[in-house]
Structure 1
Amino acid sequence: MDRSDFGAAVRHLRESTDPAAVGLPVVSRRVSGLRREELGELAGMSADYVRRLEQGRSHPSAGVVKAIARALGAGRADYERLSALAGYAAADGQVPTDLGPGATRLLERFADTPMIVTDAAMNLVAVNSAFLALEHWDRTGERWEWNVAWRAFCHPFAAFQQSATDARSHEAVLVAQLRAARLRYPADASLAALVDEMRSRSRRFDTLWRAPRPVAAYESSATFTQSDGDSLTLVGNLIALPGDDLAAVMLTAAPGSRDAARLVEVVGAADGRAVVKVGQTGPG
């Protein structure tokens, strides 16, 4: 464990916390966030101890990590991250899979934009009907058929094609997401089994897992082929939803392009459902 990383994370959360959100009076402040004295009082520890934690001069117990997270009103993702940086598994150590209100609103407000929501392990949690209209997510009957990373490395989609450059970018992001999830959720047996199977089944994934590439950008383009033989090229952008430790991928076409016009046609033929929950048994 690098104590300085934990300390930097605590300081960032402290300085980013709205005092009113944790029950403190709204007064004129020279700096944003909470003072060390305020965090110490809320968490049941001295301001000097908070200072030593932030400076990397003290190692917190699991109870201290939990107290700090509670005092700051930290969401699950931030608590999981603090725990991992301190060298502990969080309370249950399981990847959360609930579709939170933020992700639901995102799907509802961009109903005409193909979009998916995944958990930290890259399992699909929900999609919208615009995404289903792309017709590329075929079924395999295998355990991980709804996992984005597993499909990319172990059972690629026939109707989904990328250039070599975009494929490298896409793979780098998927490996980075899974590695981060393993750090945050070391006790999640299902996630561990997924990584083990991918490493044994895909030599390319195993190589990247052992020596990951740096992530240059959280976007890449791909061509989707429709059942009528036509195709369209879309750019996927990964958007973090940290409160629930979920991520969304939005697929868009270049404005004014032939692909944009084709996307309007494809989405217009969808049934219009804004939120389609996904699981091992498929959309429903």
Structure 2
Amino acid sequence: MKNIDHAGSRSQSPDLATLLRSWRERLRPEDVRLPFRGQGRRTPGLRREEVGWLAGISPNYVQRLEQGRAHPSAGILRALARALQLSKAEFELACRLAGHAAEFDGMVPQLIGPSVQRVLSRLPDVPVAVFDAAWTLLEHNELWAALTGRAWGRAGRSTNLIWRAFQHDIGDMGPVRHAFPADHKASLVADLRDVASRYPRDRQLAGMIGELRRTSTEFARLWEGSAVAHHGSERKTIDHPQVGPIELDCDVLSVHGADLRIIVFTAAPGSEAAGKLQLLAVIGLQEMTA
């Protein structure tokens, strides 16, 4: 008697194309952060264009993957795992089926499990973002985007806090103002040094560090130093163009077993900052009119 795979079709063993389609169909638009909400859906789950937006790939490529006409790279597979909210076991299965299992050994984890996704969706009145151990932004809720003034991209070095801090063409850390900027940068670099020692086989991480050492004398000096520190919680001021400066408590939470960082901005109840956050929750990314 033949086994039944995850998608319900009869086969000797699941194939990646069938699994990708079944994982897409089990998600609902309200399960993920999307910039659009379609009506009159004829098929269950997310649309291919929605998965493509979440993973940073074209809907046509998603279709080819689901039809078995394309083979995803390790980077694409990692992005799809985040977009489809795969569990660790599901991600490992996808890696084996795609032939990339060995490539992810020793890489910085970027898998966001369903429980962390629920934290993002169930705290709409608190700016929340999820970063990997190397401070690459993986996901954020809508209030985080409203507070920082933009919705960051979904992949690449431009979403990494440390890359943004030391690249002159980007400028600075954005609207977030730190009480002691030099100490903040030093703690980030010291923290990154520790991460690099734990994930020595991550080529993307090594490439980013090498580029920063070549292009930023400040980063190179800090990297060669001996300071040992970890970037953690502190009080920060966010200069917002519409509501003005907002002074907030910034806490960094760790996800046990996943090596993820969750950054949460909060304000004391009844404070001026709390009122400004409430206002941002209403206006979102839209500019206030006179």
Smaller-chain TM-score bracket: 0.5 to 0.7
Amino acid in the other structure paired with 1:225:
D
Amino acid in the other structure paired with 2:133:
A
Partner of 2:239: 225
Counterpart Cα distance in 2 of 1:90 and 1:184: 16
Is the counterpart of residue 97 in structure 1 residue 110 in structure 2? yes
Query: RMSD between aligned alpha carbons?
Result: 3.1
Segment drifting more, 241-250 vs 211-220: 211-220
* C-alpha deviation, 1:249, in angstroms: 0.7
Amino acid in the other structure paired with 2:177:
Q
Question: Is the Cα–Cα contact under 8 Å of residues 122 and 177 in structure 1 kept in the other structure?
Answer: no
Partner of 2:133: 120
Counterpart Cα distance in 1 of 2:204 and 2:230: 29
Provide Cα deviations, 1:101-139, integer angstroms capped at 9, x if missing partner: 332132233221111101122111100101001143487
Residues 229 and 212 (structure 1), Cα distance of their counterparts in 2 relative to 1, 3 Å cut: farther
Partner of 2:178: 162
Amino acid in the other structure paired with 1:107:
L
* C-alpha deviation, 1:211, in angstroms: 1.5
- Unpaired runs of at least 5, structure 1: 1-74, 77-88, 272-284
Amino acid in the other structure paired with 1:99:
I
* C-alpha deviation, 1:196, in angstroms: 1.0
Counterpart Cα distance in 1 of 2:119 and 2:152: 26
**Correspondent of 2:160 among 147, 165, 169:** 147
Q: TM-score, normalised by structure 2?
A: 0.55
Q: TM-score, normalised by structure 1?
A: 0.56
User: Which secondary structure state, in structure 2, belongs to the residue aligned with residue 191 of structure 1?
Assistant: helix
Partner of 2:196: 182
Partner of 1:241: 255
Question: Is the Cα–Cα contact under 8 Å of residues 191 and 229 in structure 2 kept in the other structure?
Answer: no
Residues 210 and 229 (structure 1), Cα distance of their counterparts in 2 relative to 1, 3 Å cut: same
Residues 100 and 162 (structure 1), Cα distance of their counterparts in 2 relative to 1, 3 Å cut: same
- Unpaired runs of at least 5, structure 2: 1-87, 90-101, 286-290
Question: Is the Cα–Cα contact under 8 Å of residues 169 and 217 in structure 1 kept in the other structure?
Answer: no
Segment drifting more, 236-245 vs 218-227: 218-227
Rg larger in structure: 1
Counterpart Cα distance in 2 of 1:242 and 1:216: 17
Residues 253 and 162 (structure 1), Cα distance of their counterparts in 2 relative to 1, 3 Å cut: same
Provide Cα deviations, 1:55-83, integer angstroms capped at 9, x if missing partner: xxxxxxxxxxxxxxxxxxxx99xxxxxxx
Partner of 1:195: 209
* C-alpha deviation, 1:180, in angstroms: 2.2
Partner of 2:143: 130
Residues 172 and 241 (structure 1), Cα distance of their counterparts in 2 relative to 1, 3 Å cut: farther
- Aligned-residue identity in percent: 31
Counterpart Cα distance in 1 of 2:190 and 2:269: 30
User: Which secondary structure state, in structure 2, belongs to the residue aligned with residue 125 of structure 1?
Assistant: strand
Question: Is the Cα–Cα contact under 8 Å of residues 114 and 250 in structure 1 kept in the other structure?
Answer: yes
Question: Is the Cα–Cα contact under 8 Å of residues 169 and 215 in structure 1 kept in the other structure?
Answer: no
Aligned residues: 183
User: Which secondary structure state, in structure 1, belongs to the residue aligned with residue 250 of structure 2?
Assistant: strand
Q: Runs of 4 or more off by more than 4 Å in structure 1? A: 137-140
Query: Larger relative CO (CA 8 A, sep 6+): 1 or 2?
Result: 1
User: Which secondary structure state, in structure 2, belongs to the residue aligned with residue 238 of structure 1?
Assistant: strand
* C-alpha deviation, 1:204, in angstroms: 2.2
Counterpart Cα distance in 2 of 1:217 and 1:158: 18
Amino acid in the other structure paired with 2:264:
M
